[in-house]
Structure 1
Amino acid sequence: MANQYLTMKELKEALPDIPENSLKRYLQEHAEYINYKKEHNRYKIQASEIEKIKFIRKLYSDGLKKEEVTAKLEEAGIPVIITVEDEEESTSTSLVNVNSELTDMKKLVSFLVQQNEQSRLSQNKIREQNKQLIHEVQELKLTIEDLRMAHEQGYEKESEKVTSLYEKLMATQRSVEEVAGALEAEKSKSIWQKIFGK
């Protein structure tokens, strides 16, 4: 019975509660979920599709619209039917469950969006750290300049402070250079390198 095809008349007899016009509408509007052939304006529906058609009927009876019914069929994991041309037969129908592949693609896109957002936040953080370090360097330069001027006016005790501050300035400058280098390295990485770590 699984491979047996029913005419529209036989299908109507199997589903007496569903008008023929509704059956044809279900076949047309949800063709990707129902296994049938159309030969010379005559429908031949695989007998195994009766339960699916009953399910579609119930969804419409519950007041759902076409798009909502399609979404429910997808949620139920009903495989999408793809008809391909075959050299031996005029057409052959194969069932392909593309729903899981679509779900995987959605997950991949979501992952890529998250990675992009994390990268953007990381770059913003590095920029802020860079600004802070530059500000600190400028303040240290001003302090050193003040101390040098005081030193020139005869305050030799300040010499050690100048040396200490100068060393701090150099350390801070190295930090700025490291952060700038990290920012450049982060910018130059492509999104694929970030995802796959290559």
Structure 2
Amino acid sequence: MTITIRDEELILAKERAIFLPNEQLLAISDLHLGKAAHFRKAGLQVPSTLAQSDLNRLSNLLSQYQPETLLINGDMFHHDLNTDIDEFERWKEQYSNLKFVLVKGNHDKLHEKQYENLGIEIHEPSYCTPNFCFIHDAVKCTEENLYPISGHIHPGVSVYGKAKQSLKFPCFYFGNDYAVIPAFSAFTGLSLIKPRANEQVYAVTPTKVVKV
């Protein structure tokens, strides 16, 4: 799905990402690497393949769009260093020419040296392009002339069929004041969006992005 915001083209990918052709920038949010390992450490039976599955989806996006910059708009890592993050470090070795940027979110609590060792450039509280302000929680955005794009809430939408049955999907939300992009990680819940007049919602189905 290709849309235009602030006279700039944005591509909404069904893998829950936004590509900005003008900036050669691929943006995702709420990757939550390490979440599965954190739960396993606590004794919960969570599949060990979740992190690899998310990284494989990300590899497909990087292959498709060939961005110069990968922007993670908060909550890249769920907790402390663990086996999932070790896997990320090995995965990242194949992208030596890609710039990794993290806008810190509420779960991003590694030490500055740990981010540096992983080759990740930190921005706090936001990373701005000529038209947009990427920030984990749009409520905190102070860039008045830019359109905020946030994550954090893992937005979702209910889609109703003719027989009044409903399905819930992750979604992209473009409101009057700010946008929210879906959580990239498959290991997250959904917070249902209720758009107001003139606001746009795009559901992420298994096969495509659709306007609802």
TM-score (norm 2): 0.20
Whose strand proportion is higher, 1 or 2?
2
Q: Point out the structure with the larger helix share.
A: 1
